[in-house]
Amino acid sequence: MSIRFDDRVVIVTGAGHGLGRCHALEFARRGAKVVVNDLGGARDGTGASSAAAEAVVAEIEAQGGEAMANGANVADYAQVEAMVTETLDRWGRIDALVNNAGILRDKTFAKMDLADFRLVMDVHLMGSVNCTKAVWEHMRERQYGRIVMTSSSSGIYGNFGQTNYGAAKMGLVGFMNSLSLEGQKYGIRVNALAPIAATRMTEDIMTEDVLKLLDPASVTPAVVFLASEDAPTHQILAAGAGVFARIVIQETPGVFLDVGSRDADHVADSWKQIAATDGQQELQAGSEQTMKVLKKAAALGIKIG
């Protein structure tokens, strides 16, 4: 067990069930002091109970680990701040944050109430923003931090009936992309997980055989790696059923249209070339896209500056 978290403190949100519970148990097994955060609500976000978080803490303590339960609602920044303060008062440090808390309110967009859209965004996206904001200054001061966002294929690729969930999960990729750049000089590494797992979030849409194959424990190794000292940064890691893959967003070379051809008709005529994937590349920042288009124009003799 070369990856260890001895003397390190890890906050895992939504850790009362499923993925979060597996994450919390494994961090503790590897020596971490773990904050088991869980509001204790139902899958749709209604209700609250401390029982789930306390049960996970009891499991950790029974195995000789150290943990504390916390029932903060991640969508409420004041509650999140109080959680961080409580953690620092008890252990004096926060080394890693795993943003895992989430809810589902699935419906087709035509039938979805905007309140359900907003709530899912508040928990998944703003909940992760709240928790990250609450630990960010502490990590900057210590020049060390590991933050994991929990994204989803529903956001990266889309999924029927999950416009709210997909928007939140892709929003987390954008949040991670920019935050990883801001964190580099402070020793803070930020990544995203795209899990494929059987949890109470997915139990209604999978057969029993598939549920067994997609054990949440098979995802946790990816999270532990992304929260470790030697973790990369600015990455999306998919994990499920023993398969681990890096998700990459790439951009095609594209075409340059001169001023006389810069209209929708020529875009339509050039679409096959625009969409051609030969020579596509992975960009590391928005500024690289700007430089790419300027270089493409310059290569065709267009004067820049």
Q: CB under 8 Å to 32, separation ≥6 — which residues?
A: 5, 6, 8, 9, 10, 65, 95, 96
Q: What CA dihedral angle connects 131, 150, 90 and 65, to 10 degrees?
A: 170
Residue 292: how many other CB atoms lie within 10 Å: 15
Let me know if 237 is exposed, middle or buried by CB neighbors in 10 A (0-12, 13-18, 19+).
Answer: buried
CA–CA gap between residue 106 and residue 244 (Å, rounded): 27
- Does residue 227 sit in helix, strand or coil? coil
Which listed residue (77, 144, 157, 165) is catalytic? Answer: 165
Distance between CA atoms of 131 and 135, rounded to whole angstroms? 7
DSSP result, 163-213: HHHHHHHHHHHHHHHHHHHHHGGGTEEEEEEEE---STTTGGGS-HHHHHH
Is 165 known to be catalytic?
Answer: yes
Candidates 90, 76, 214, 223; CA nearest to 147 is 223
d(CA 274, CA 296) in angstroms, rounded, equals 13
The single residue listed with the structure tokens 């997609």 is 214
**157, amino acid identity:** Y
Supply 253's token pair.
């070379």
Angle between helices 77-91 and 127-142 (to 10 degrees): 30
Q: 């260890």: which residue's tokens? A: 4
Q: Which residues are catalytic?
A: 165
